[in-house]
Structure 1
């Protein structure tokens, strides 16, 4: 009982600080553009692989100058020695899971073998309950299956926001705990869905490897992320 009361008291004390810091960070954080470059194309030789990347500012390459340095470019490069890749990027800065649901619903039906998603940061920073986010994630998975007849969906976990250097304390601690909660619930959601797998970058976010805004990936993180996804595809999936 006393533990619960203490927790409620702590929340009441820190809530105004966290809200004020959230407004301040939003106001002063450097606004970086999405990476320039093509958002669809064909590359490589070999077995045909149809690849779709869906998501938010990280998927859109914020933090680097060109898509060749971002997740999409690095992933296509890493796979092009084994596959002929037809790829498409559908991502926008600021997108929540609900925004991506709307974007996907407006796309024509087509077929992709692999879909990679990057969503959750903008849901974590808002007031969305984790239960609502999980429902939206499941709706997104269901829609991706229906719209794109995909074989596998690789879902990138929410990054460890407690390591974002742009965030002051206690906001950083709060968002770190919230992102960890979202990831735990996401793991439970997809563990019984055979066509879904989690992508965990599984590394400390070195401040020097982050973009200059302290909030988005830099080139090294994008490359590392793409290598993990590429190895997952190469080691576990065989396409006809």
Structure 2
């Protein structure tokens, strides 16, 4: 059904896509260092974040108020110590782009990787099979180069709720994001070394607009805080499991 709808709506979808690109408000990536130490006391976790524009903090003023800073601080609070973090994220990156960046970047040792990817793959209509293959390779490279023991994939955000996107383009991209999420969830069933974290419920539906940046496409600082809290809660539970091995 999705393929038939894309074919039938192709002229309109192409026109809407071009119009959105021309008219969209282009916000900069968050300023500030791409690595640091959050919290005080004994080192509890070394964190690597790999992502696209949302990972890079578009919609927030600084990295401390974006995903990397919010997540590191939330983890430090929950784990009762310090968290060392490194961010590798660039606006416009698909998962394939992030994979190439990971292969080439100067990386620090890490225990856990969080990915914030998938929006540009949904926009590019990347197939679920190809996306899963790229995520598999991303995980393998991070293990080889950084020594991570666990990867937590943040779900593709609810693109059906992005205020910037007109209908039916919003519906199409939302449906593709859902396809990617479902495929990843199925693949990770039973995995002890990888997981997927859905975004908080209040980042879906009409309420999500209050947590979006002025461009209608990225989180604002409150949105990043809510996203980080959901990830931190999941990671804090994982840390207990990892520590007991």
Q: TM-score, length-normalised on structure 2?
A: 0.90
C-alpha contact (below 8 Å) 2:48/2:113 kept by paired residues? yes
Name the CA shift for 1:29/1:174 in 2 (closer, same or farther; >3 Å). Answer: same
Distance in 2, matches of 1:88 and 1:35, equals: 14
C-alpha contact (below 8 Å) 1:201/1:228 kept by paired residues? yes
Q: 2:221 maps to what in 1?
A: 219
Q: 2:70 maps to what in 1?
A: 74
C-alpha contact (below 8 Å) 2:86/2:108 kept by paired residues? no
Q: Secondary structure at the match of 1:50?
A: strand
C-alpha contact (below 8 Å) 2:212/2:219 kept by paired residues? yes
C-alpha contact (below 8 Å) 1:108/1:147 kept by paired residues? no
Q: 1:157 maps to what in 2?
A: 155
Q: 1:19 maps to what in 2?
A: 14
Q: 2:212 maps to what in 1?
A: 210
1:60 and 2:62 equivalent? no
Q: 1:139 maps to what in 2?
A: 137
5+ unaligned residues in a row in structure 2: which ranges? Answer: none
Match of 2:40 among 42, 45, 67: 45
Q: TM-score, length-normalised on structure 1?
A: 0.92
Q: Secondary structure at the match of 2:131?
A: helix
C-alpha contact (below 8 Å) 2:200/2:227 kept by paired residues? no
Q: Secondary structure at the match of 1:198?
A: strand
TM superposition shift of 1:142:
1.4
Q: CA RMSD in A?
A: 1.8
Match of 2:231 among 214, 229, 232: 229
5+ unaligned residues in a row in structure 1: which ranges? Answer: none
Q: Secondary structure at the match of 1:25?
A: helix
TM superposition shift of 1:218:
0.9
Name the CA shift for 1:11/1:234 in 2 (closer, same or farther; >3 Å). Answer: closer
Per-residue CA distance 1:49-105 (angstroms, 9 max, x = gap) = 111111100000001111111111111221223122111111100011111111111
Give the structure with higher Rg (CA).
1
Q: Secondary structure at the match of 1:188?
A: helix
C-alpha contact (below 8 Å) 2:125/2:176 kept by paired residues? no
Name the CA shift for 1:93/1:200 in 2 (closer, same or farther; >3 Å). Answer: same
Match of 1:187 among 185, 193, 210: 185
C-alpha contact (below 8 Å) 1:156/1:200 kept by paired residues? yes
